[in-house]
Structure 1
Amino acid sequence: MVSHRKLDWITQDEAIAASLEKWQRVVDLLTKLLGADVCYVVEFNKNLGYRAAVTSQTPENPAPDAADHPAPLDSNIYCRQVVETKMPFYEPDARNKSEWADNPELTEEGFVSYLGTPLLWPDGEVFGTLCAFDKKQTRYDATLKQLMEVFRDLIEADLRLYEQLQIMRDLSMTDPMTGLNNRAGFELLAQQKIRIAKRYHHHIGIIFIDLDNLKHWNDEYGHAAGDAALRAVGQAISECIREVDICGRIGGDEFAVLGYVRNRGDLTTIITRVRNTLDHAKLTVPNAKSPIHDTPQISCGASVFFDPIDKSLDEMMAAADLEMYRDKKNRRS
């Protein structure tokens, strides 16, 4: 799965909401045309399992809402056969077949017939399946199987559009030097974090980080070394923040981190980790003006905003920025 797909379940991304409406019509129509009890678009995650993303809205469907809990990876369900082989699979009657003796879809829900086809990303990785279930034996002919393939093509076309959207979104929100969010990307994600913090009464912490004396790096070793120092800071931040934090390069030599915190100590811990990581950084730059003996040094400022949060993002960033300049001044004195 390419790096542009960042969510565990892609179908929970707002960017694909319009496609889900189309997929709903697909599974409803497919259910009618096949005369099946229920049809699904099932999403696959190689770490989490199988999740019903879209399900037909028919009276025969025992669970018309998309499943909240995914089926485990080792569950002997019909879709597993499709995902593992990346091939269509048809089981007209699973009763009295030993290979399905522990299939919960058969033993618990009573689905004896299954027709499924894989849904693939443009790079050939499995997104999931388009599938139909029935509680009675079926005899689908070749035309009906071809019909499912047509619907499969419609869904895969949406996956291609989604992939292209993610690529364009990443290009517009990513700093090419460090691979971190640029200022626009950071602020977009930060606003989302703040909305969630207000809803669930979290505290917000912000860290401002500035690479000290970038001019020295450029003048002493060359601009390639200055770029390498910036990348080293970006990498150190990425390695040292928590999964719940976001970070970005918001200016020439300035970086920011935002996340939910308990107190200022959470931010101090992150800053200490970043500084320790940079102390051990070894920068090698081809054709540098002179051998590099320095390691990147940073100035940092941190501010915590406790619930209820009444500051705007700009106000929060200004407060952390001020703390960073105080730290820089103290380090120079």
Structure 2
Amino acid sequence: MSTPQEMRAAYMVTLKRLDWLADDESMLASMDKWQRVVDLMTDLLGATAGYIVEYNEKLGFRATLTSQNDENPFRQVPGKPEPISSNIYCRRVVESKAPFYERDARGKSEWADNHELTDDGYVSYYGVPLCWPNGVVFGSLCVFDTKPTGYEKRLIELLECFRDLIEADLRLYEQYQIMRTLSTTDPLTGLNNRAGFEMLAHQKIRIAKRYHHNIGIIFIDLDNMKHWNDDYGHAAGDAALRAVAKAITESIREVDICGRVGGDEFAVLGYVRNRGDLTTIVARVRNALSNVKLSVPKAKSPIRESPEVSSGTAVFFEPLDQSLEDMMAVADLEMYRDKKRRRK
């Protein structure tokens, strides 16, 4: 069973819910503040343009915000990211995780293929790294100029204060996401708990109504939970539940959502064409479980069986007029019917 500290450490690796933090609606208030910071920074340094640039280790670099001063020729944020391989000034900041100052890049061979110099005319650059609380680089806070510069030390120190303000928001975002995850995650299996599953399910249903998708729900229940706990011990019962959770996550599609919605009950929800999409997932889950060999050191006796499950499926065709509760009740009833058949 994962502790809150372990879950927090694991979550640090996959903190953001989206590729770009700027696309997260929960950051709107911070973005307004960041815009004021960028505009003020650019004005105080007398620079041509100021930016907050976000870094994604797979996608590259993308401007999050740009200053709105009249001298800036690029006041619209480009949607397309710069490739990781681009020889741009911010790459130096991200790679070194340290401030970088280029007073005058003209005539320097290292910038011969930097389009910010050759195409945009930015001969001067100063940038500082922006980091998540765990030290991973988020991006950079930077200014560009079309003329050589010599910024005073106190102005550079001021820019570093602006950096601290932005990193404070990154800490708040991290804490918000961690608390949100802890409140919607089942600590035993790592799946969504019932609250988390229902929150995501309501979002899925709203999208399904908008785009005329069908909704499919699967209820899965670990058979003989009492037997696992009584005959092998509660550690074995927990191991069986984790095995079911693992089989489900490995069997569903990337767009599906799943959760542990009761003691030994799990649910899956997704867009489907027909019931066949759901029966395929159930077959994958059962096949995965048939190969599970549990080894539990604290078991009362050797475990010589694999977890088995009962399941119920239900498809709801558009137009969707049922509530999530009604949908789940139908799939739950089908699951109990399957459990009853399996006991015969």
TM range (shorter): over 0.9
The letter for the 1-side match of 2:38 is V
Secondary structure, aligned partner of 2:71: coil
Secondary structure, aligned partner of 2:13: coil
Query: 2:137 is matched with which residue: 126, 138, 162?
Result: 126
Counterpart position of 1:280:
291
Query: 2:337 is matched with which residue: 294, 317, 326?
Result: 326
Identity of aligned residues (%): 70
Q: Distance in 2 between matches of 1:315 and 1:168?
A: 29
Q: Distance in 1 between matches of 2:189 and 2:157?
A: 47
In the alignment, is the contact (CA less than 8 A) between 1:225 and 1:285 conserved in 2? yes
Counterpart position of 2:9:
none
Q: Distance in 2 between matches of 1:207 and 1:65?
A: 45
The letter for the 2-side match of 1:49 is G
Counterpart position of 1:7:
18
Cα gap change, 1:50/1:185 in structure 2, threshold over 3 Å: closer, same or farther? same
Cα gap change, 1:203/1:56 in structure 2, threshold over 3 Å: closer, same or farther? farther
Query: 2:272 is matched with which residue: 261, 277, 300?
Result: 261
Counterpart position of 1:217:
228
Shift, 1:77, TM fit: 1.2
Cα gap change, 1:106/1:269 in structure 2, threshold over 3 Å: closer, same or farther? farther
Correspondence 1:27 to 2:54: no
Correspondence 1:79 to 2:64: no
Shift, 1:329, TM fit: 2.1
Cα gap change, 1:25/1:311 in structure 2, threshold over 3 Å: closer, same or farther? same
Secondary structure, aligned partner of 1:4: coil
In the alignment, is the contact (CA less than 8 A) between 1:190 and 1:246 conserved in 2? yes
- Range moving further from structure 2, 70-79 or 321-330: 321-330
Counterpart position of 1:189:
200
The letter for the 1-side match of 2:272 is V
Counterpart position of 2:101:
90
The letter for the 1-side match of 2:318 is D
Which string of whole-angstrom CA distances, capped at 9 and with x for unpartnered residues, describes residues 4-40 of structure 1? 3332112222222211111111001111111112211
Unaligned 5+ runs, structure 2: 1-11
Counterpart position of 2:166:
155
Query: 1:70 is matched with which residue: 74, 78, 81?
Result: 81
Cα gap change, 1:221/1:50 in structure 2, threshold over 3 Å: closer, same or farther? same
Which string of whole-angstrom CA distances, capped at 9 and with x for unpartnered residues, describes residues 252-297 of structure 1? 0011111222332222222111111111111111121110011110
The letter for the 2-side match of 1:265 is G
What is the Cα-based RMSD across aligned positions, in Å? 1.5
Counterpart position of 2:110:
99
The letter for the 1-side match of 2:293 is K
Q: Distance in 2 between matches of 1:263 and 1:108?
A: 53
Correspondence 1:58 to 2:69: yes
Secondary structure, aligned partner of 1:234: helix
Q: Distance in 1 between matches of 2:257 and 2:76?
A: 32
The letter for the 1-side match of 2:167 is E
Q: Distance in 2 between matches of 1:264 and 1:11?
A: 38
In the alignment, is the contact (CA less than 8 A) between 1:93 and 1:137 conserved in 2? yes
In the alignment, is the contact (CA less than 8 A) between 1:247 and 1:255 conserved in 2? yes
In the alignment, is the contact (CA less than 8 A) between 1:4 and 1:170 conserved in 2? no
Which string of whole-angstrom CA distances, capped at 9 and with x for unpartnered residues, describes residues 200-248 of structure 1? 3322221111111101111111111111101111111112222211111
The letter for the 2-side match of 1:237 is I
Secondary structure, aligned partner of 2:203: helix
Q: Distance in 2 between matches of 1:237 and 1:62?
A: 52
Q: Distance in 2 between matches of 1:198 and 1:62?
A: 42
Q: Distance in 2 between matches of 1:65 and 1:308?
A: 40
In the alignment, is the contact (CA less than 8 A) between 1:37 and 1:134 conserved in 2? yes
Cα gap change, 1:65/1:242 in structure 2, threshold over 3 Å: closer, same or farther? farther
Q: Distance in 1 between matches of 2:206 and 2:50?
A: 36
Count of residue pairs the alignment pairs up: 333
Shift, 1:125, TM fit: 0.6
Counterpart position of 2:250:
239
Shift, 1:332, TM fit: 2.1
Secondary structure, aligned partner of 2:245: helix
Correspondence 1:312 to 2:320: no
Cα gap change, 1:39/1:255 in structure 2, threshold over 3 Å: closer, same or farther? same
